[in-house]
Structure 1
Amino acid sequence: RADIARTLNMPINRIRVIATVVGGNFGGKNEITTEPILALLSKKTGRPVKGIYTREDEFMSSTTRHPFIMDYKTGMSKDGKILARKVRLVCDGGAYCSWSETTLGKACILSAGPYNIENLYVEAYAVYTNKTMTGAMRGFGAPQVCFAYESQMDDMAHDLGIDPLDIRRMNAFHEGSASPTGQVLESVVVRDSLEMAAERFGWQDWNK
């Protein structure tokens, strides 16, 4: 209502939205797209107006997830303890800003992963490109950086000859760990989750 009211320069109490059941948001429904246009057409014609996207319209006119360029440099001891990490993130926002600032902020906070790292430096940029506008998607930058740091954890485990599960156990957050922003963590279940996943997956048998 607020977005339509602002776009049409009308008081918000003159805007009535009757929503259908849309299920979860998952980020993709955070944006307004054709709503102000349809409202304006209806206002000008005095008639109800309906807009329907084809699959092609959806990909061309709605928002997409933010592509990232990610550079990770991590220092690790021979026994697998993470000593330091330097991260550079470039977030492709497309033609308009939309949720790029929020997405980049979340990506920065989560770029270290669920691991204790005493020395962390993160440099991040959101950039405009001549592409479809990006927007809110499930995770807000978390899936992108998760792919980067977990891929690197596997690479480092391989290079050091350490079980990838063990290297995660060694560095994972525990009760009382501090996040990169200084938040003291409570009810931390990272290690418990790793153990349960490894047991159900049959990691020891698979990793022989």
Structure 2
Amino acid sequence: MTSGVVRWFPRNARSLATSSKNRRPEDCRWHHEAYGYFLPIQTRWQDNDQYGHVNNAVYYSYFDTVINHYLIRYCGLNTRLLTSSTVGFMVSNQCTYHTPISFPQIPVAALAVEKVGRSSVHYRLALFPPKPTKELPSIDHHDLSDGFFIGHPKLAQFNALACATGSSVHVFVNPATSKPMDLPEDFRGGLLKLMSPDSV
């Protein structure tokens, strides 16, 4: 489904992203080093809108995918509502668009944790496009099932500057009462592995 919204990124977005006089303190979020976990995302034909690039709303699904992939794979999140002891409610989402992506491309979604509270988790997110070559990034089954962490050589296939940056906040609740609950210690431990360096 397409949106009737006009272009959501400025025509000079690339120059804005690279101009030193336009940089702000949070611009570190635009670089690989600000993140700990990465997951390749295959764009889909349906992601494009009538302007020929991925529609702005779709980026939130990419961010949701990398968050939940990490929680399931590395924190032990049980997503079966009838047997899960904790359920995450997304209470805040934000995305800033810098340059467009389109189909067919394989960007990499990036995840860091900025804060772990008693029942809440604050995430830092980004999407890095592939470097402009004729070949799609070399991604295999393990990259899609496990993702990879900062320092992995496959990150060299992706631009060093993000095409989008964002943030999200999860609040974890008891599924029986929908009341916030303490995060389990092993779950918390998996999250702390992704604490961004400037958040410690």
TM-score range, shorter chain: under 0.3
Tell which has more relative contact order, 1 or 2 (C-alpha 8 A, sep 6+).
Answer: 2
Q: Which has the higher helix share?
A: 1
Pair member with larger Rg = 1
The structure with the greater share of residues assigned to strand is 2
